[in-house]
Amino acid sequence: MAFSDALKAKVRKRAHLACCLCKAMGVEVHHIVPQGENGQDTEDNAAPLCPSCHETYGANPQKRKFIREARELWYEICAKRFATDPERLDEIKRLLKKTVSYDDFLAFKEELLAHIQSEFTAPRTEEEISHEIDVLLDKIWYNRHLCLRERVEAGHTKVAPDIWKGALEAAKGVEKRYPKGELGPWTDFEWGMLNGKLSALRWVLGDDWDMLDT
């Protein structure tokens, strides 16, 4: 018997057509245990050897174990040497997923502009904008009034009594119009937002930017 063509092709392929001992190209498929000793035509008994190594080691029974080990090692190396590292690839894929390209950003921008311009978010009417400005002015005025009140009550500042009476009444009116919690106290950030919103709305209605004359 002899190795089948299919098995020989398989062995050559696993060895990348190279001798498992000297790595020379061009191999014969060698019976590790010779056919004369009942060596089988199996993959386990087949070693890829070049003609020279075949000649040198092939007939030496002492070298059988060595050939087998060399073959296993060479198969292992062949299986890995052109293979990609899947873990590394996963890592790269993971990183690529996190990367936002400029095209992604442009697509996002288009989407956002389309959303803003959609009917669903039609521009506010001038009435709505004016109302919002009134609300912001109330809140900002009220906060300033409280600061002034502290100074007046501590005697640091004097305000003409009739003006002060009017101011206190106006403050009561504000307190009636807004639920508790909507009139501060504000953090620096919230205070900045109030003034920023007011500035933006006034800009929409024609004021210059940073027109903070309240």
The site for Zn ion (CB under 5 A) is made up of 19, 21-22, 24, 50, 53
The dihedrals phi and psi of 38, each to the nearest 5 degrees, come to 70, 25
Minimum distance between the CB of residue 83 and Zn ion, rounded to whole angstroms? 24
Minimum distance between the CB of residue 33 and Zn ion, rounded to whole angstroms? 19
Minimum distance between the CB of residue 16 and Zn ion, rounded to whole angstroms? 13
Torsion of CA 34, 39, 40, 43, to 10 degrees: -60
Whose Cβ is closer to Zn ion: residue 69's or residue 110's? 69
Whose Cβ is closer to Zn ion: residue 50's or residue 198's? 50
Cα(140)–Cα(191) distance, integer angstroms: 8
Minimum distance between the CB of residue 18 and Zn ion, rounded to whole angstroms? 8
Q: Is the dihedral of CA 41, 43, 46, 48 positive or negative?
A: positive
Whose Cβ is closer to Zn ion: residue 15's or residue 19's? 19
Element (H, E) at 29: strand 28-31
Whose Cβ is closer to Zn ion: residue 70's or residue 136's? 70
Cα(201)–Cα(206) distance, integer angstroms: 9
